[in-house]
Amino acid sequence: MTSVCQEESIVLQRCQRGSAEAFEVLVNRYMKDAYFIALGLVGNREDALDLSQEAFVRAFRHIKDVKPGRKFFPWFYQILKNLCVSHLRKRRYRQASSLNGEDCPEVASTNDCFSPEEVAKRNEMKAQVWQAIGKLDEKHREVIILRHFQNMSYENIAEALFCNKGTVTSRLYYARKKLEELLGGPKHDISRGQPIVNGKGGFIHDMP
Amino acid sequence: MTCHDYKDLMMGYLDNELSDEQRRRFEEHLSGCPECAGELKDFQKLKAITDEVTLVEPEDRIWQDYWTGIYNRIERDVGWVIFSVAAILLFIYGGFKLIETIITDATAGILLKAGLLALVLGLAILFVSVFRERIYFWSKDRYRNVRR
């Protein structure tokens, strides 16, 4: 871990001296994270690709702002997040664009079951979860994306969000509570609430 | 400690982020608190559902061309900066040459010369005013040193 940090620090210094080759190393290391985070925040593959690349361009332009000894990714994450948020505001979305439709091309389909009904049910469930995540507000959505799709530790999430671990756990708690509610969980009154997709809520109850 | 105080530990427990001591303390609390135990069970179900969702990996071509896309944008940025600087310099040079020609031209009317001088003066005042305003707001910006 330390050697990775040291190596990154050396690469960063080279970037700050204007080396595009060194920046390519950083891009190759973080491009997938950047793309999937952007996808989680804006919910659209084309926009996610464009925004993640634009974030790298801006990062290169301002790379000298990274203070010595600091990690690249938390700093880069702020650029990426701001770009995604302003993109959503510009397009007057409050939620990810994929939420408007029932089709979720961003979510990988299940094909490891023999029963077509089971496959369809699981794929529908995944689509519902993805759409529910998109319905979360920005600060809750980002912790879910970073934790579940990026598998980041609480410490790394706290670093990326410039907050402490307590804030991360608290946001995760409320984000999951809200998700549970959106998926028709135990405390959700479906008759009054807004169950998503075809009005079918309650996958949480279906779980073993 | 109240149940509310155990919420953070519950998330840590769920995500395997607790130390052995914290885990033991939380499990101790769980054994005597059916409400927290029930809530944890709901969260575990939710986590299992959420973990099933994986995002579609784009085609390899996207990753192969990813850096090229960024490099092209960076290169274009540099191109635009050079182009803009050159265009501004040429515009200023051309402007001065034009003014010089008109001012020194004995056949040009006095009205044209006065109008031209007024135009240059107006532009200069506008430029200085905007520049001064920018500097003023920049120096008063409390967030200019905010960590990025």
Looking at every residue in chain A, the average pLDDT score rounds to 79
Residue A191, pLDDT above cutoff 70: no
Q: Do A185 and B43 touch (CB under 8 A)?
A: no
Q: Is the CATH code 1.10.1740.10 the one for domain A2-90? A: yes
Q: Do B50 and A204 touch (CB under 8 A)?
A: no
CATH architecture assigned to A97-206: Orthogonal Bundle (1.10)
- Residue A190, pLDDT score: 32
For residue A25, list chain B residues with Cβ-Cβ distance below 8 A.
none
- Residue A197, pLDDT score: 38
Q: Assign residue A164 a region: left if phi > 0, alpha if psi is -120 to 50, beta otherwise?
A: beta
Domain extent listing, chain A = 2-90, 97-206
Q: Do A31 and B46 touch (CB under 8 A)?
A: no
Return the structure tokens found at A58. 């801006």
For residue B16, list chain A residues with Cβ-Cβ distance below 8 A.
none
Q: Is A108 buried (19+), middle (13-18) or exposed (0-12) by CB count in 10 A?
A: middle
* Phi, psi values for residue A96, rounded to 5°: -60, 145
Q: Of the candidates A126, A148, A185, which has its C-beta nearest B42's C-beta?
A: A185
- Residue B51, pLDDT score: 86
- Residue B144, pLDDT score: 63
ipTM: 0.70
Return the structure tokens found at A41. 């925040």
Digit-by-digit pLDDT tens for chain B (148 residues) are: 678 778 888 999 999 999 999 999 999 999 989 999 999 999 999 998 888 888 888 889 999 999 999 999 999 988 999 999 999 999 989 988 988 888 888 888 889 889 988 998 999 999 999 999 999 888 887 666 554 4
Q: Of the candidates A24, A106, A169, which has its C-beta nearest B11's C-beta?
A: A169
Q: What is the pLDDT of residues A120-137, one digit of tens each?
A: 777 788 888 888 998 898
d(CA A29, CA A90): 29
Q: Do B7 and A40 touch (CB under 8 A)?
A: no
Residue A148, pLDDT above cutoff 60: yes
For residue B48, list chain A residues with Cβ-Cβ distance below 8 A.
207
Q: Which residues contact A35 (CB under 8 A, 6 or more apart)?
A: A48, A49, A52, B58
